Amino acid sequence: MTLSQPVPTAVTRRPSKRRVLMCRPEFFTVSYRINPWMHPEDPTDTSLAVTQWQALYDIYIGLGFEVDLIDPIAGLPDMVYSANGGFVLDGVAYGARFTYPERQPEGPAYMEWFAKAGLKVHEPRETNEGEGDFLLVGDVILAGSGFRSDSASHQELAEVFGRKVISLELVNPSFYHLDTAIAVLDPAPGEGEAANIAYLPSAFSDESLAILRERYPDAIIATEEDAAVLGLNSFSDGYNVVIASRAKDFERQLRERGYNPIGVDLSELLLGGGGVKCCTLEVRS
Ligand code: ARG
């Protein structure tokens, strides 16, 4: 008889059906450098990017998600990172206004898709990179600034959606979008249930870190190693969490908490500075 069995702490996690927008990386390459991950002098393999992206798409289909596709546009190699195309909540799409000229034409392309999909479209006044920097956690929106989205966009976001917006300042250029430093684990918590996150403490200013510590005392703390393969850049349905297959400690911690981590290799898309979440825009219609 074993007396030293670990106390079962596992909670029952419930998956919820998600609807996402993706963009096949048919024109993916790294031809400019707007984040430290990008090295235009190194070759990229577009067909490998498509194959890896397809594996992510297939996982989502297998999980029963509704997956919409936006047509890729030649000359916009970063369009595969659909998370940056806007922020959609309550059937309203708040459009993106990109920081760098290289990506600016993506804004109207995504807006057009939102309008065609029957969403109410809100033209952005302020610079923002959509769900790359805005994360819905329970009933609040965490909003990043420091590298891409202007903090004035946080105010605009609060006006558009009438939700509480909590501003967080990013300080490490390798984690330039909020979705590279925070993972939302519970997209649709039930009544009275708290939504949890995982994050990388060193990516935030002291003040922002204090906010995260206070609001999410039970958060998963990611290792620097896992963050360095964009492990936090993941997508959860409340039970299944699609993550970078190399993020081993994150995988272990998710399993311990009763989630079902599913690894995927997006190494080619990492050359552009993006992972699972970057390739995924949630459509909350
Ligand atoms: N090359 C793209 C950029 O620098 C990558 C975007 C990654 N997207 C994200 N949601 N973190 O803008």
Q: What pLDDT was estimated at residue 196?
A: 96
ipTM: 0.97
Q: For the chain, how many helices (H) and strands (E)?
A: 7, 15
Q: What pLDDT was estimated at residue 10?
A: 58
Structure tokens at 77: 């190699």
In angstroms, what is the C-alpha Rg of the chain?
A: 18
Contact 12, 3 (CB under 8 A): no
Return the best residue to mutate from 175, 278, 280, 282 for the ligand 1 pocket (most ligand atoms within 8 A of CB). 278
Return the best residue to mutate from 32, 80, 135, 177 for the ligand 1 pocket (most ligand atoms within 8 A of CB). 177
Contact 258, 13 (CB under 8 A): yes
Dihedral pair phi/psi, residue 202, rounded to 5°: -70, -10
How many whole angstroms from 190 Cα to the centroid of ligand 1? 31
Tokens 């959606």 sit at which residue?
A: 161
Catalytic site residue from 23, 122, 278, 279: 278
How many whole angstroms from 95 Cα to the centroid of ligand 1? 16
Q: What pLDDT was estimated at residue 9?
A: 55
Q: What pLDDT was estimated at residue 1?
A: 46
What are the per-10-residue average pLDDT scores of the chain (285 residues)? Answer: 50 93 98 98 98 98 98 98 98 98 98 98 98 97 98 98 98 98 94 92 98 98 98 98 98 98 98 98 96
How many whole angstroms from 128 Cα to the centroid of ligand 1? 12
Q: What pLDDT was estimated at residue 172?
A: 98
Q: What pLDDT was estimated at residue 237?
A: 98
Domains and CATH numbers, the chain: 19-282 (3.75.10.10)
